[in-house]
């Protein structure tokens, strides 16, 4: 009986250790996923809170529509990830060039001016322009 008890104890003990490892692995994986997600959500919320911009002018020169805007927030925006709506329609593919403070760039620091040029074709200037930053923050211009 003594040997039986020892054998049972060894089996139960070894299995307990193994299962504790399995449980720990699952828990650590879950904790890592939640921590990563939480960090991403915090960074995103902070950027969205700090993002703000204003469209200062919209004019048309020939077929080119020129949109001028200022980053009025406190975070740097990525104009490469921005979107444009012209009279409610998605017009991002019509963008031909982006300039920040007169130089070709997508990096838009706080306080700086950006100029977005696009070729919407021949026609009158639009009545409504919406510029949406990579954070989802929007600025509107009305004629």
Partner 1 sequence: MAGSAAGESILFIGSILITVAFVGVFSGVVQNLSRGVGERGDVLGDELASDIAIINDPLAMTTSPLTVYVKNTGTRAILTPDVSILLDGVISVSNTKDVLGSTDDDTWLPGEVLQITVNDLTVSPGDHRLRVVAPSGVDDTFAFAS
Of 50, 113, 115, 134, the residue at the interface with partner 1 (CB under 8 A) is 134
Using the rule CB under 8 A, is 96 a contact of partner 1?
Answer: no
CB atoms within 10 A of CB 29: 10
- Specify the DSSP class assigned to residue 34: H
Interface characters, 39-58, with partner 1 (x: CB under 8 A): -xx--x---x----------
Q: Which stretch binds partner 1 (CB under 8 A): 20-28, 66-74, 97-105, 109-117?
A: 20-28
Count of residues making up the chain: 143
Report d(CA 113, CA 53) in Å as an integer. Answer: 10
Token digits for 24? Answer: 């720990």
CA within 13 Å, CB half, 102: 0
| Counts of helices then strands in the chain (DSSP H, E) | 1, 11
User: What minimum distance in Å lies between the beta carbon of 87 and partner 1?
Assistant: 5
What is the contact surface with partner 1 in residues (CB under 8 A)? 1, 3-5, 7-8, 11-12, 15, 18-19, 22-23, 25-27, 29-34, 36-38, 40-41, 44, 48, 81, 83, 85, 87-90, 92-93, 127-128, 130, 132, 134-136, 138, 140, 142
């Amino acid at each position: 009986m003594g040997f039986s008890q020892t054998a049972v104890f060894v089996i139960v003990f070894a299995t307990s250790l193994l299962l504790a490892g399995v449980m720990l692995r699952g828990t650590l994986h879950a904790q890592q996923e939640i921590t990563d997600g939480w960090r991403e959500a915090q960074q995103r919320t902070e950027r969205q809170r700090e993002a703000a911009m204003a469209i200062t002018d919209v004019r048309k020169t020939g077929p080119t529509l020129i949109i001028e805007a200022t980053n009025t927030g406190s975070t740097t925006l990525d104009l490469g990830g921005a979107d444009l709506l012209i009279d409610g329609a998605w017009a991002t593919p019509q963008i031909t060039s982006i300039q920040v403070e007169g130089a070709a760039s997508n990096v838009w620091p706080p306080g700086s001016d950006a100029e977005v040029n696009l070729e919407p074709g021949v026609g009158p200037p639009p009545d409504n322009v919406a510029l949406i930053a990579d954070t989802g923050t929007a600025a509107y211009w009305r004629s």
